[in-house]
Amino acid sequence: MTEPRKKITLPYLFEKVSKGEPITWLTCYDYPTAYLQEQAGIEMILVGDSLGMTMLGYDSTLPVTMDDMIRHTQAVRRGAPTAFLVGDMPYMTYQPSVETAIRSAGRFMAEAGCDAIKLEGGAAMADRIRGIVDSGIPAIGHLGLTPQSVSALGGFRVQGKSAELAKKIVDDAKKLEKAGAFAILFEMIPDRLCQLITERAENCIIMSLGSGPHAHGQLLIYHDMFGLYPKFKPKMAKVFGNAGEVILNGLKAYHDEVIGKQFPQPENWFTMKDEEYDELKKMLD
Ligand code: KIV
């Protein structure tokens, strides 16, 4: 039997960075998937507010509540006890004030067993990061395409393509790093911009989602990897297996076998002893 994995900690993540070993990070929203990700050795898990779209069927992440997040994050923690678990702060649970941000972050730690939280936004959110970190909670920033601001950003599109906008992202990253973020996720920025930021990071782990190979690690959305989100397939999402197709074929086969009376077969049901059955019949007569 293989030894259970040791808990993934912040020092472990920084050690990987210092050795030049990429960090693996995936989104996850439920117990069975968390169990599989833990078995596969995935080091970081993000319970993203993308669950609003992938699990709850909303058109955006905006309707997701803190209670939605806590319920899913607790399930993920039960399935992945040693992963470095990150709770994603949903819309308007940190934007209103530093105090709101600290209280929401505290819920992820106290109620769901998280190791860190993530929140979206640049310089304007630096004081939220500072407040959370000063409360003893590790915090991750999120720059580039930030889905909670998708309307202001003009849609799901690559960010920082011009030198001027790229410079703003570099400046925002420095502000978050100075505020105490131990990591920053860059979503959909050009690869060379992400490389420049990674080279300049002093004590901050740079993670990429569709931002190229030069970061310290990679994040993907689980549902995109396995064909489980039918509405949209972003370019950055490599499909590692079409679980959606496998499940759909299984569902159709089940439907056809029930209709065709091929399911169930004796191995799929339970029997009782003849004498018990006869006794039952007598009792009923
Ligand atoms: O909610 C989420 O899954 C995220 C990713 C898009 C990074 O924030």
Distance between Cα 252 and ligand 1 center (Å)? 32
- pTM for the complete prediction? 0.95
Per-residue pLDDT, 234: 85
The protein residue with its alpha carbon nearest to ligand 1, atom 4, reads: 48
Q: Name the residue with the closest Cα to ligand 1, atom 2.
A: 48
Q: Is 68 in the pocket of ligand 1 (CB under 6 A)?
A: no
Confirm or reject: Cβ of 218 under 6 Å from ligand 1: no
Please identify, by atom number, the ligand 1 atom nearest to the C-alpha of residue 61.
1
| Type of residue numbered 151 | S
Give the three-class secondary structure for 187: strand
**Cβ of 187 less than 6 Å from ligand 1:** yes
| 3 belongs to the catalytic site | no
- Work out which ligand 1 atom sits closest to the CA atom of 27: 3
Longest dimension (CA), the chain: 88
Within 8 A by CB and 6+ apart from 264, the residues are none
- pLDDT at position 166 is 98
| Contact between 238 and 249 (Cβ < 8 Å) | no
Q: pLDDT means per 10 residues in the chain (285 residues)?
A: 87 98 98 98 98 96 97 98 98 98 98 98 98 98 94 89 97 98 98 98 97 98 94 88 96 98 98 98 96
First CA to last CA across the chain, in angstroms?
Answer: 55
69 lines ligand 1 (CB under 6 A): no
Instruction: Identify whether the C-beta of residue 50 lies closer than 8 Å to the C-beta of residue 72.
Output: no
With tokens 């898990």, the residue in question is 45
Which of 25, 26, 27 has the most ligand 1 atoms within 8 A of CB, as the residue to mutate?
A: 27
Cα–Cα distance measured from residue 52 to residue 158, given in angstroms and rounded to the nearest whole number: 22
Element (H, E) at 11: helix 10-19
Q: Scanning the structure block, which residue is given the tokens 């833990």?
A: 38
Cα 160 from Cα 140, distance rounded (Å): 20
Enumerate domains of the chain plus CATH numbers.
10-241 (3.20.20.60), 246-284 (no CATH)
The verdict on the CB of residue 208 being under 6 Å from ligand 1 is: no
- Catalytic member of 187, 199, 257, 279: 187
27 lines ligand 1 (CB under 6 A): yes
- Concatenated DSSP letters of 50-89: THHHHTT--SSSTT--HHHHHHHHHHHHHH-TTSEEEEEP
